[in-house]
């Protein structure tokens, strides 16, 4: 594999994402999803949470403002796509991370 290929196009990353998605969708089918009446797929919520957690961790390191801004917009877009189907804790956590990042960027 060439080092010039971005990590998000790597075979390993694809295998990880597909495996995670398949596992979570099977778990979702087994569990009663009546808690909070969440209709959002577990995988999409997990990815939004993971991105927000990574962005919060990025505050502790010397990450460029351009990358912080890009990460913020990606999380915002994911939360908007999930809309009202997203769990309330995820909306609160994601909004808090975005708010904190905007303060760092100012």
Give residue-wise pLDDT tens across range 29-40.
777 655 554 566
Place of tokens 């995820």: 90
Q: For residue 84, is pLDDT > 90?
A: no
Q: Who contacts 27 (Cβ-Cβ below 8 Å, separation ≥6)?
A: 42
User: Do 25 and 76 reside in the same domain of the chain?
Assistant: no
Q: What is the distance between the alpha carbons of residues 58 and 13, in angstroms, rounded to a whole number?
A: 21
User: Do 83 and 52 reside in the same domain of the chain?
Assistant: yes
Give whole-number Cα distances, 10 to 17, 25, 54, 67, in Å: 11, 23, 20, 20
pLDDT of residue 5: 55
User: Do 43 and 72 reside in the same domain of the chain?
Assistant: yes
Please give the residue range of the domain that contains residue 2: 1-31
pLDDT of residue 72: 95
């Amino acid at each position: 594999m060439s080092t010039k290929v971005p990590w998000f196009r790597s075979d390993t990353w694809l295998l990880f994402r597909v495996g995670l998605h398949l596992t979570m969708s099977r778990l979702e089918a087994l569990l009663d999803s009546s808690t909070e009446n969440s209709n959002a797929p577990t995988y999409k919520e997990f990815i939004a949470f993971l991105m927000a957690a990574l962005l919060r961790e990025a505050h502790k390191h010397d990450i460029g403002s351009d990358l912080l801004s890009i990460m913020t917009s990606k999380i915002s877009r994911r939360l908007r796509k999930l809309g009202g189907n997203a769990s309330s804790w995820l909306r609160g956590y994601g909004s808090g991370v975005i708010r904190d990042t905007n303060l760092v960027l100012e």
